[in-house]
Structure 1
Amino acid sequence: MHLTRRLFSLAAAGAMSLAAFGGAGVGAAMADTNIKFTLDWKFEGPAAGFLLAVDNGHFAAEGLNVTIDTGAGSRESIPRVATGAYEMGFGDINALIKFLDEDTSQKVKAVMMIYDKPPFAVIGRTAQGITEDPKSLEGKKLGAPPPDAAFGQWPAFVQVAGIDTSNITIENVGFPVREPMLAQGAVDAIFGFSFSSVLNLKAQGIPADDIVTILMADHGLELYGNAIMVNEDFAAANPDAVKGFLKALAKGFADAVADPEAGVAAVMSRNEILTKEIEVERLGMANSMNIKTPWVEANGFGGIDEAKLANSIELLKVSMDLKGNVTAADVFDASYLPPKEERMLP
Structure 2
Amino acid sequence: MLKLASVAVCAVALIIPGVAAAEEAVKEKVNLVLNWVPTADHSPYYYAKAQGWYEAAGIDLTIETGKGSGISAQRVGVGTSQIGIADLPTAMLARGKGAKLTAVMTVYANSPQGFYWLKSSGINGPKDFPGKKIGNPPGDASRVMWPAFAKQVGIDPNSVSFVNVSPQAKVPSLKSHAIDITSDFYNEHDLKVREFGADLGFLAWRDIGINPYGNSIIVNSDYLAAHPDVVKAFTEVSQKAFAACVKDVSPCLKALMASVSGLDEANQRDQWNRIKELMRDPTTTSVALGAFNADRVGSDMEMVKTYFGLEHAFEAKEIFTNDYLDPSIKMSKE
TM-score band by shorter chain is 0.7 to 0.9
Query: How many angstroms apart in 1 are the aligned matches of 2:273 and 2:211?
Result: 22
Counterpart of 1:60, as a letter, is E
Q: Indicate how the Cα distance of structure 1 residues 269 and 158 shifts in structure 2: closer, same or farther if over 3 A, else same.
A: same
The one of 161, 165, 173 aligned to 1:170? 161
Query: How many angstroms apart in 1 are the aligned matches of 2:197 and 2:285?
Result: 29
Counterpart of 1:341, as a letter, is S
Task: Say which SS state the counterpart of residue 195 (structure 2) adopts.
Answer: coil
Cα offset, 1:42, TM superposition? 1.1
Query: How many angstroms apart in 1 are the aligned matches of 2:299 and 2:30?
Result: 33
Cα offset, 1:86, TM superposition? 1.3
Larger Rg: 2
Length, aligned pairs only: 310
Counterpart of 1:169, as a letter, is V
Q: Which moved more, 1:318-327 or 1:151-160?
A: 318-327
> Hey, what does 1:65 align to over in structure 2?
60
The one of 277, 299, 304 aligned to 1:316? 304
Q: Indicate how the Cα distance of structure 1 residues 274 and 144 shifts in structure 2: closer, same or farther if over 3 A, else same.
A: closer
Give the root-mean-square deviation of aligned CA atoms.
Answer: 2.3
Q: Structure 1, unaligned stretches of length 5 or more? A: 1-27
Determine if contact 2:290/2:325 at 8 Å carries over to the other structure. Answer: yes
Q: Indicate how the Cα distance of structure 1 residues 130 and 270 shifts in structure 2: closer, same or farther if over 3 A, else same.
A: farther
Give me the identity figure in percent: 27
> Hey, what does 2:10 align to over in structure 1?
none
Q: Does 1:249 align with 2:219?
A: no
Task: Say which SS state the counterpart of residue 259 (structure 2) adopts.
Answer: coil
The one of 204, 207, 218 aligned to 1:229? 218
Cα offset, 1:174, TM superposition? 2.5
Query: How many angstroms apart in 1 are the aligned matches of 2:332 and 2:24?
Result: 28
> Hey, what does 1:284 align to over in structure 2?
273
Cα offset, 1:200, TM superposition? 5.5
Give the TM-score normalised by structure 1: 0.82
> Hey, what does 1:334 align to over in structure 2?
322
Cα offset, 1:304, TM superposition? 1.0
> Hey, what does 1:273 align to over in structure 2?
262
Determine if contact 1:39/1:68 at 8 Å carries over to the other structure. Answer: yes
Q: Structure 2, unaligned stretches of length 5 or more? A: 1-22
> Hey, what does 2:172 align to over in structure 1?
180
Q: Does 1:48 align with 2:46?
A: no
Q: Does 1:190 align with 2:179?
A: no
Task: Say which SS state the counterpart of residue 190 (structure 1) adopts.
Answer: strand
The one of 258, 282, 302 aligned to 2:290? 302
Q: Indicate how the Cα distance of structure 1 residues 96 and 154 shifts in structure 2: closer, same or farther if over 3 A, else same.
A: same
Give the TM-score normalised by structure 2: 0.85
Q: Give CA-to-partner distance per residue, 1:89-111, whole Å, 9 cap, x none.
A: 111211111111122xx322111
Q: Does 1:238 align with 2:211?
A: no
Determine if contact 1:51/1:252 at 8 Å carries over to the other structure. Answer: no
Equivalent residues in 2 for 1:115-154, closer than 5 Å: 115-131=108-124, 133-154=125-146
Query: How many angstroms apart in 2 are the aligned matches of 1:181 and 1:200?
Result: 14
Q: Give CA-to-partner distance per residue, 1:166-191, whole Å, 9 cap, x none.
A: 7x432322224333211112222112
Query: How many angstroms apart in 2 are the aligned matches of 1:319 and 1:221?
Result: 12
Cα offset, 1:145, TM superposition? 2.9
Query: How many angstroms apart in 2 are the aligned matches of 1:66 and 1:330?
Result: 26
